[in-house]
Amino acid sequence: MPGATPGWLDQFQAFGVVHMLVTLVAVVLILGSCILGRRWRATGRDRSEIRLRGGWVGFTIGWQALATLWYLVHWDVGVSLPLHVCDLAAWIAPFALWLQVRWLRSLLYFWAIALSTQAFFTPVVQDGVGRLEFWLFWIGHLQIVGSAIYDAAVLGYRPRLRDLIFAALALAGYGVVMLALNLAIGTNYGYVGRSNPSAPTVIDHLGPWPGRVFLLYALAVVAMVLTWVVWPVCARLAGDAERGGVT
């Protein structure tokens, strides 16, 4: 129909062209910032790296404040409270990057890399490019995942076993609180409520509630273990290669 609004402006289609473009742009931005940050730190231009990081921190705080305000103004008890793991991780991210406090960095690393990255594979957003919700979702997740990768690639964060245990226990505590809240007000924060997400996700294949809550947590812990174990494995392989080179 002449003059009709393109569908991609109003509705997001998972695994469509827009999805692929968004993911590509996110990868380019994350890689570019990490390359710049590493280069500046390697060449003694620490002030340049700090300015880059400070700008990102300020942008993240400002954007998350805008997102929180927007959802509160457009009140819906099921979506307006910033209580999903990604909502919390988005606020953890700027303080972890700037303050470099270990427990904040640990939560950011595990909750971002193991959990929030799923947004790029099974996004629950349904609004298209012409809607603010689209930008709130994708920029917010870029800030979470990008911050965690930057902290590891540029600032040298390396997870330890006790960091993994802390993040897993924190997630368990979060799940218990969200389960109680969801039962009380009929919502699905943390995806541990009775209802399914609005878009297809792995949760749809975990069986009925409440048993799927335990399976979901188990999958999350497995993902966190995988994001931790890669570091000691790589260190072991690097050590073996170095010893092999010496001999």
Residue 107 CB neighbour total at 10 angstroms = 24
pLDDT value at residue 195: 87
Position 125 pLDDT exceeds 60: yes
56 CB-near residues (< 8 Å, 6+ apart): 33, 94, 97, 143, 146, 147, 150
Amino acid at 156: G
Q: What is the pLDDT confidence band of residue 191, given thresholds at 50, 70 and 90?
A: very high
Lowest mean pLDDT among 27-41, 131-145, 196-210: 196-210
Question: Is residue 30 within 8 Å of 147, Cβ to Cβ?
Answer: no
Mean pLDDT computed over every residue of the chain:
92
Q: How far apart are CA 226 and CA 220, in angstroms?
A: 10
DSSP state string for 157-216: ----HHHHHHHHHHHHHHHHHHHHHHHHHT--GGG-SSSPPSS--GGGGS-STTHHHHHH
pLDDT value at residue 224: 98
Average pLDDT over residues 12-26: 94
Question: Is residue 86 within 8 Å of 119, Cβ to Cβ?
Answer: yes
